[in-house]
Chains A and B, each alone.
Chain A
Amino acid sequence: MKTTGYLTVAAGLLAATALTDGALAQSGPIKIGVVTPLSGTYTPIGQQVRWGLELAAKEINAGGGIAGRQVSLVFEDEEANPAVAVQKAEKLFQVEKVDFLTGTVNSGSTLAVAQLAERNAKLAATTVSFADSITTDKCSPNMFRVNARAEQQSVALAAWLAKEKPKAKVYYLGPDYEMGRSTVAAFKSSAEKSGAPTGGEVFAPLDSKDYTQYFGQIRASRPQVLYTSVAGNDTVRLLTQLQDFGLLTNLQVVGASGTVTSQNIGAIGQAAEGFATGVGYSPQIDTPENKAFVAAFRAANKADPDLYGADSYGLLFAYKAAVEKAGSTETDKVREALRGLSWQTPQGAKTIRAGDHQAMQPMYVVRVAKGKFDIIDKVDADKAIGPDACTRF
């Protein structure tokens, strides 16, 4: 039959491709799969991930590649949806036969891709997802994280607060959904550990128009510090209303890293002055490595790098160091090489903790002054990392 003939040919072709792939595996380019949002709400984050990785790949290839092999990046759109991310990651592992995978933004995608990497005996890393679970209770032997997780941000901020305003009473105002409640709980536990008493806490619905209804209870508890993890336009309303009611005098406002961003800082205006937060990266870090990185990034992309771009850029150098140390791209050998690896990034030296695959890095405290973030403090890597809570390996 004619169809069977075609089928045999197709099957033969598939088998032939499989054979050549095997033969090329040790000499051809090293393929790195990137599943990151290229469409939808998270496109700006995916864009930074892409720019960071492309710049690093260009620099590595210009310098002779990884162990003499060139690096090639294969992109797929994550759509910030775990169901899509897993399907695309499987395609990269099975069809493109990538050696390593990165790029996932949605924390659910990162967790699901970690499990897929385990089942395909491949390694993956995230440079964006900050949910603590990825390197704590849901840690995976095949997943690494090179960016700062939520706890590192809050530990760094709490450490600075303890130094700046020792034993200051803190009031908490969070958005009323799971993420909002967990960020408040995380900072509260860090702050209480460093001796800051809690004045009270309140959760406002997402997209609240009027925060003044909570001001009575905030005033009554007389806090010196207000912690908030609201984001976007909610921050604009909260801070401007606080200012209108004169509550910002003698009150230090601190928050999560997404509370005040370049997107809403203009709309908040004067009310944003003095707001402080903990971050893993700022383009203003005053080191020669970072200045060179920012200049190269600007030249290539006509935009400043943010933490996603910087963390993604740094990741490829970690993978390069690990492959060269292991002398191979085999999963088990590279995993061993990545564990405990220390390498240089624009943010300073990072070390991957062997116990939970979380990168330890110096953290920075930034504060708004004249509408711009200034670095006001640096917290050492070992002070910001928190305990190893991964029990799987």
Chain B
Amino acid sequence: MRDRLTLSMRASHLLALVLVTAALALAAIGAASGDTFYLRLGTEALIFAGLALSVDLLLGYSGALSLGQALYFGIGAYVSALTLLKVPSFWLAMAAAGGATLIASIVGGLIANRVRGVYFALITFGLAQVVAKVVYNTRELGASDGMIGIPVIEIGFGPVSVSAGNPVGFFLVVLAIIMGLYGITAYLLDTPFGRVLTALKANEKRVPFLGYSVWRARMFSYVLAGLIAGLSGALYPMLRGFVSPELMFFVTSGNAVISVILGGVGTLIGAIYGSVLLVLLKSIIGSWTEHHLIVIGLIFMVCVMFLPKGLVGFIRPRIEQRLLAGAQKPAAPSFAPARLEAGSAKP
């Protein structure tokens, strides 16, 4: 008997492959036509997809809604910006941003993981607001103006190097990093640790009886999510050349949650699809009407009403069915695969 979580993960990987293929096609068209805007918009969508991925790791697996994930995204962005202003090195900036968000998310996790449910959402929201206000009022960090003048860097991979100012090159670098983060997360969720997280969402009170530490699992997933958000955030100043306190505001956290719900909670790849979709929609509808927030709000409502499991949550069961049919050709599946998502798995 095939494992349900493994099966849905395989379906997600297939969708990830489709996304990467589409992204490579976009890169090829972009390079051929000399386009800059759409490639850089795509890069931005992928960077925010990293933030959405971290929200989905918390919301979709351990069931903790974070309304302040932009905190770690912003810390990553600011630390990366500060590093790049001193030393224009990609690897140093990523290491510094990773280190800083690691420490910040351990501190944040110690505070936020004392509570559950709606209180967790409020604490994460509050933490992000407090730090954002401190940054907003600190002149050394540019205060409300943010920091500009972050140089366009060369990203060295051994003998070859890519300029962050090259739209195709940087798009591919960001694609590789975000898909790498997706791969690591997906791998971890497929280990016994991932099962503990899923169990936490299903019935937290029973987990200790099975001999697992609830606190340790929650803490680990929180820190991992913080790290993913921070590493994604570190890419932002390389793309746009500035950071501003708005990156830590609730708009950024809120957009990440919307991306996850659009794409499908608990599907990982859905977060990335959702983010790409949201950035694209905002750009297209924003140019078309100034009432873009109403249009996006309506799309969001329609999506929640008719696709409650998000886009990927709607497509994935069909892929799972195919995969299952391919694996055991003669025997028809004896259970309804539509209820098999990791995110909603009930014991």
B220 at the interface (CB under 8 A from A): no
Collect the chain B residues with CB atoms within 8 Å of residue A18's CB: 33-34
Contact present for B240 and A14 (CB under 8 Å): no
Q: Compute how far the CA of A69 lies from the CA of B308 in the bound complex, rounded to whole angstroms.
A: 52
Min Cβ gap A12→B in Å is 9
Collect the chain A residues with CB atoms within 8 Å of residue B287's CB: 76, 91
Q: Compute how far the CA of A38 lies from the CA of B287 in the bound complex, rounded to whole angstroms.
A: 11
Evaluate whether A178 and B139 lie within 8 angstroms (CB atoms) in the complex, with A7-B25, A14-B33, A39-B291 already known: yes
Collect the chain A residues with CB atoms within 8 Å of residue B176's CB: none
B41 at the interface (CB under 8 A from A): yes
Min Cβ gap B78→A in Å is 13
Q: Compute how far the CA of A11 lies from the CA of B26 in the bound complex, rounded to whole angstroms.
A: 10
Collect the chain A residues with CB atoms within 8 Å of residue B36's CB: 90, 94
Collect the chain B residues with CB atoms within 8 Å of residue A108's CB: 142, 144-146, 242, 244-246
B338 at the interface (CB under 8 A from A): no
What does the 1/0 interface line of A161-182 toward B look like (CB < 8 Å)? 0000000000000000111000
**Which residues in window 1-37 of B have CB below 8 A to A?**
25, 28-29, 32-37
A219 at the interface (CB under 8 A from B): no
Contact present for A87 and B41 (CB under 8 Å): yes
Contact present for B290 and A38 (CB under 8 Å): yes
Contact present for A112 and B240 (CB under 8 Å): yes
**Which residues in window 143-158 of B have CB below 8 A to A?**
143-146, 148-149, 152
Evaluate whether A115 and B145 lie within 8 angstroms (CB atoms) in the complex, with A77-B290, A83-B247, A94-B36 already known: no
Q: Compute how far the CA of A177 lies from the CA of B144 in the bound complex, rounded to whole angstroms.
A: 10
Contact present for A10 and B37 (CB under 8 Å): no
Q: Compute how far the CA of A94 lies from the CA of B30 in the bound complex, rounded to whole angstroms.
A: 13
Evaluate whether A82 and B32 lie within 8 angstroms (CB atoms) in the complex, with A108-B145, A178-B139 already known: no
Evaluate whether A131 and B37 lie within 8 angstroms (CB atoms) in the complex, with A76-B286, A83-B244, A86-B240 already known: no
Contact present for A10 and B286 (CB under 8 Å): no
B314 at the interface (CB under 8 A from A): no
Collect the chain A residues with CB atoms within 8 Å of residue B242's CB: 82, 86, 108, 111-112, 115
Collect the chain B residues with CB atoms within 8 Å of residue A76's CB: 286-287
Collect the chain B residues with CB atoms within 8 Å of residue A119's CB: 152, 165, 241
What does the 1/0 interface line of A75-104 toward B look like (CB < 8 Å)? 111000111001110110111000000000
B292 at the interface (CB under 8 A from A): yes
Collect the chain B residues with CB atoms within 8 Å of residue A10's CB: 29
Collect the chain A residues with CB atoms within 8 Å of residue B241's CB: 112, 115-116, 119
What does the 1/0 interface line of B249-264 toward A look like (CB < 8 Å)? 0011000000000000
**Which residues in window 1-47 of A have CB below 8 A to B?**
3, 7, 10-11, 14-15, 18, 38-39
In this complex, how many residues of chain A approach chain B with their Cβ under 8 Å: the count is 37
B161 at the interface (CB under 8 A from A): no
Evaluate whether A82 and B137 lie within 8 angstroms (CB atoms) in the complex, with A76-B287, A87-B44, A95-B37 already known: no
Q: Is the interface of A mostly helix, strand, loop or mixed?
A: helix
Evaluate whether A81 and B251 lie within 8 angstroms (CB atoms) in the complex, with A39-B291, A75-B290, A91-B283 already known: yes
B136 at the interface (CB under 8 A from A): yes
A194 at the interface (CB under 8 A from B): no
Evaluate whether A91 and B144 lie within 8 angstroms (CB atoms) in the complex, with A7-B29, A81-B251 already known: no
Contact present for B33 and A15 (CB under 8 Å): yes
Select the residue from A83, A95, A114, A115 with max chain B CB neighbours within 10 A: A83
For A8, the closest partner residue in chain B by CB is B32
Q: Which of B37, B137, B138, B251 contacts A91 (CB 8 A)?
A: B37
Contact present for A82 and B244 (CB under 8 Å): yes
B195 at the interface (CB under 8 A from A): no
Q: Compute how far the CA of A15 lies from the CA of B30 in the bound complex, rounded to whole angstroms.
A: 11
Collect the chain A residues with CB atoms within 8 Å of residue B144's CB: 107-108, 178-179
For A4, the closest partner residue in chain B by CB is B25
A138 at the interface (CB under 8 A from B): yes
Collect the chain A residues with CB atoms within 8 Å of residue B251's CB: 81
Contact present for B136 and A178 (CB under 8 Å): yes
Select the residue from B44, B143, B283, B292 with max chain A CB neighbours within 10 A: B143
Q: Compute how far the CA of A315 lies from the CA of B35 in the bound complex, rounded to whole angstroms.
A: 31
Collect the chain A residues with CB atoms within 8 Å of residue B244's CB: 81-83, 108, 112
Q: Compute how far the CA of A119 lies from the CA of B150 in the bound complex, rounded to whole angstroms.
A: 12
Collect the chain B residues with CB atoms within 8 Å of residue A95's CB: 37
Q: Compute how far the CA of A59 lies from the CA of B241 in the bound complex, rounded to whole angstroms.
A: 37
A133 at the interface (CB under 8 A from B): yes
Q: Compute how far the CA of A154 lies from the CA of B197 in the bound complex, rounded to whole angstroms.
A: 58
Q: Compute how far the CA of A22 lies from the CA of B51 in the bound complex, rounded to whole angstroms.
A: 39
Contact present for A83 and B136 (CB under 8 Å): no
Min Cβ gap A392→B in Å is 10
Q: Compute how far the CA of A306 lies from the CA of B32 in the bound complex, rounded to whole angstroms.
A: 48
Contact present for A77 and B292 (CB under 8 Å): yes
Collect the chain A residues with CB atoms within 8 Å of residue B35's CB: 14, 94
Min Cβ gap B223→A in Å is 26
Min Cβ gap A37→B in Å is 10
Evaluate whether A82 and B143 lie within 8 angstroms (CB atoms) in the complex, with A77-B292, A87-B44, A91-B287 already known: no
Min Cβ gap A134→B in Å is 9
B293 at the interface (CB under 8 A from A): yes
Q: Compute how far the CA of A77 lies from the CA of B283 in the bound complex, rounded to whole angstroms.
A: 10
Min Cβ gap A209→B in Å is 19
Select the residue from B28, B36, B242, B247 with max chain A CB neighbours within 10 A: B242
Collect the chain A residues with CB atoms within 8 Å of residue B44's CB: 87
Contact present for B283 and A83 (CB under 8 Å): no
**A-B contacts, 14 listed (Cβ < 8 Å):** A81-B244, A81-B251, A82-B246, A87-B41, A88-B286, A90-B37, A94-B36, A108-B242, A108-B244, A108-B245, A111-B148, A115-B242, A119-B152, A177-B137
Chain B residues with a Cβ under 8 A of chain A: 25, 28-29, 32-37, 40-41, 44, 136-139, 142-146, 148-149, 152, 165, 240-242, 244-247, 251-252, 283, 286-287, 290-293
Instruction: Beyond the given A82-B146, A112-B241, please list 19 additional residue pairs across the A-B interface where CB-CB is below 8 A.
Output: A11-B33, A39-B293, A82-B246, A83-B244, A83-B247, A86-B240, A87-B41, A87-B44, A90-B37, A91-B37, A91-B41, A91-B287, A107-B144, A111-B242, A119-B165, A133-B145, A178-B138, A178-B143, A179-B144
